[in-house]
Amino acid sequence: MNKKKLRLIFAITALVLLIAEIVIAFYASGWIRNYLGDVLVVIFLYALYRALFIDRPSKWFVLPSVILLIAFGVEFLQLWGICNKLGIHNSYALILLGASFSVVDLVCYAVGSIPCYLVEYMMKKRV
């Protein structure tokens, strides 16, 4: 598959996931908001990166690992109370950054990284 087509597929995937995340953030509740949104955000970040920067790192596991570490980093910033420390009270910013730390969120991010690892691995095997 050529790079332009692959980039388009990732861009469409990222757009669909962004719309899903917005809908989840504003309209969903229960397990969909608490768990599925966290799973999808990692896949969204992966698809967004691949749409913007089509070239992959030389090792297939690097990109999903970096994205997972970023997600973990944001979660640990919540543990530190980043929103309070920066004086962020805007509801949209709180939805984006999150306001409370949860180990379950870390598990959801890890689950969301699995499809990213699989895509990278399969793409590496095809090359």
Q: Which pLDDT tens digit goes with each residue over 37-85?
A: 999 999 999 999 999 997 878 899 999 999 999 999 999 998 988 888 8
Question: What is the residue type of 98?
Answer: G
Cα dihedral: 19, 54, 120, 24 (round 10): -10
pTM beyond 0.75, yes or no: yes
Nearest to 53 by CA among 89, 98, 83, 11: 11
Whole-angstrom distance, CA of residue 45 vs CA of residue 83: 21
Give the domain ranges of the chain. 3-126
Residue pLDDT, tens place only, 90-126: 877 777 777 788 999 999 999 999 999 999 999 988 8
Neighbouring CB atoms inside 10 A of 77's CB total 16
Q: Rounded to whole angstroms, what are the CA distances from 1 to 14, 47, 92, 108, 123?
A: 19, 16, 38, 31, 10
